Structure 1
Amino acid sequence: MFGRPRAWARRHPVLIDSVTISPVVLFCLATVPNFSDAQWLGGSRVGMPAGVFLTLALLAPLMLRRKYPREVFAAVALMSFGQWLGGLSELPANIAVLVAMYGVAARCTAAWAVAAGLVAELGLALAQTRYGRFDPNAFASMSVFVIAIWITGIYANTRRRYVEGLVERAERAERERDQQAQIAAAAERTRIARELHDVVAHNVSVMVVQADGAGYAIDSDPEQARRAVQAISATGRTALAEMRRLVGVLRQEGDHRQEYAPQPGVAQLGDLIKQVGDSGLPIDFTVSGVPQALPEGEQLVIYRIVQEALTNTLKHGGPGARAMVDMTYGRGEVLLRISDDGRGAAAIAPDGGHGLVGMRERAAMYGGSIDAGPKVGGGFQVLARIPTGVTV
Structure 2
Amino acid sequence: MVTSADSRAVRQDVALAVAVGALWVVVVSVASGWDYWHPRWIESYWWAGAWLMVPMALRRLAPGAAFWATAVGYPISYLLLIQGSDLQSDFHVVPVLVAAFAVTQAGSLRAWLAGVISIGSIVLMEAGFAGLADLLHGGGVGGLSRHPSHALLLATLAAAATVLGMLFQRLAATSASLAQRNVALEALQELRAREAVRSERTRIARELHDVVAHHVSAIVVRAQAADHVGDDDPGACRDAVRWIAPAGREALESMRSVVRVLRDDVVESGATPLTGRLRGSTDLAPPMTPQLGLVDLGAVIDRVRGAGLEVSAELPAVLPACSPAVGLAVVRVAQEALTNVLMHSGATRVDVRLTAPPGGLVLQVRDPGPARPQTGEARQRHGLLNMHERAAGCGGEVMAGPAVDGGWVVRMAVPYSDD
- Where on the TM-score scale, by shorter chain, does this alignment land: which range? 0.3 to 0.5
Instruction: Please say which structure displays the higher CA radius of gyration.
Output: 2
TM (normalized to structure 2)? 0.45
TM (normalized to structure 1)? 0.47
